Structure 1
Amino acid sequence: MSTTINTLAHQCGFILFLVAAICFCLLMLLISWFLGSKADGRYTNTPFESGIASVGSARLRLSIKFYLIAMFFVIFDAESLYLYAWAVSIREVGWIGFIEATIFIVILLVSLFYLARIRALNWSPAYCKLHVCKTTTLPNILGAKYPH
């Protein structure tokens, strides 16, 4: 019987916390609605970027290379989180955990060397002029010479 009352007390406390948080958020929104300005100016609904009015479209065409670098960063950053969790629990996992982490690091290094080998991380304009643009044209894919 005691555990049921204890559980009910914890649940009531959590529900009270949720109600208080929602009421606090609504109170802040209500106060800002009353105290905020209601004047409609010329630039009221215009989006600003660093205090400057936007010019042109927001739909810029970016090179796929930027997305590749972002993906590589996310992938290797996520793996560093796994290594951090391993480092925190190193005493509990022992030698087996150490061997598993070593295998994990070796796989990461092999993938990084593979990316460097296929030059996925090298996207300078000089390299693009010499290599990438020549190998990605349709005549080269079909086996014809690259037209100069």
Structure 2
Amino acid sequence: MLSQFGYIGLFLIFGCTFILITLGIPAVLSRLTRIVPRKPTKIKLETYECGMETTGRSWVQFNFRYYIYALMLIVMDVLAVFLYPWASSLGDLGMTGFFIIAFFLIIVTVGYLYAWKKGALEWQ
């Protein structure tokens, strides 16, 4: 009879085997069928997007504020992920759980206010 760790071991073995098979099938098929082109030319290396030739430079630098907004979105998503289970089990947690989540919200609010004060959230 397998213990709980035995099931975890079997799951890890199954997961690793699945990953190796999934990654190995395209490698084996490309070597056996020789369909994959191996001679890069200038035409093959051109930037191709939406069926049209690129106009202008193909390397465009994005404004770093996009990343700030993305990070803020991730922070708010993580906040929602932590708040939902807390709200559903607030009765069991009592005042200790309330103070822990209040401390967490204070940390997030201070970070948000700092980013706001530095002007990281203003669009220009």
- Alpha-carbon distance in structure 2 between the residues aligned to 1:68 and 1:121: 7
Larger Rg: 1
Q: Tell me the secondary structure at the aligned position of residue 44 of structure 1.
A: coil
- Does the C-alpha gap of structure 1 residues 39 and 104 become closer, same or farther in structure 2, counting only changes over 3 Å? closer
Q: Does 1:25 align with 2:30?
A: no
TM-score (ref. length: structure 1)? 0.49
C-alpha RMSD over aligned residues: 4.0
- Alpha-carbon distance in structure 2 between the residues aligned to 1:118 and 1:20: 47
Count of aligned residue pairs for this structure pair: 119
How far apart are 1:26 and its partner, in Å?
1.4
Identity level (%): 19
Q: CA deviation digits over 1:3-48, x for unaligned, max 9?
A: xxx3696546743653354234312432355274549676323332
Q: CA deviation digits over 1:62-111, x for unaligned, max 9?
A: 44434433343333333333323433543542332123223433443454
> Please, which runs of 5 or more residues in structure 2 have no aligned partner?
none
User: Higher relative contact order by CA 8 Å / sep ≥ 6: 1 or 2?
Assistant: 2
- Alpha-carbon distance in structure 2 between the residues aligned to 1:35 and 1:59: 35
- Does the C-alpha gap of structure 1 residues 93 and 9 become closer, same or farther in structure 2, counting only changes over 3 Å? closer
Letter of the aligned partner of 1:23 in structure 2? I
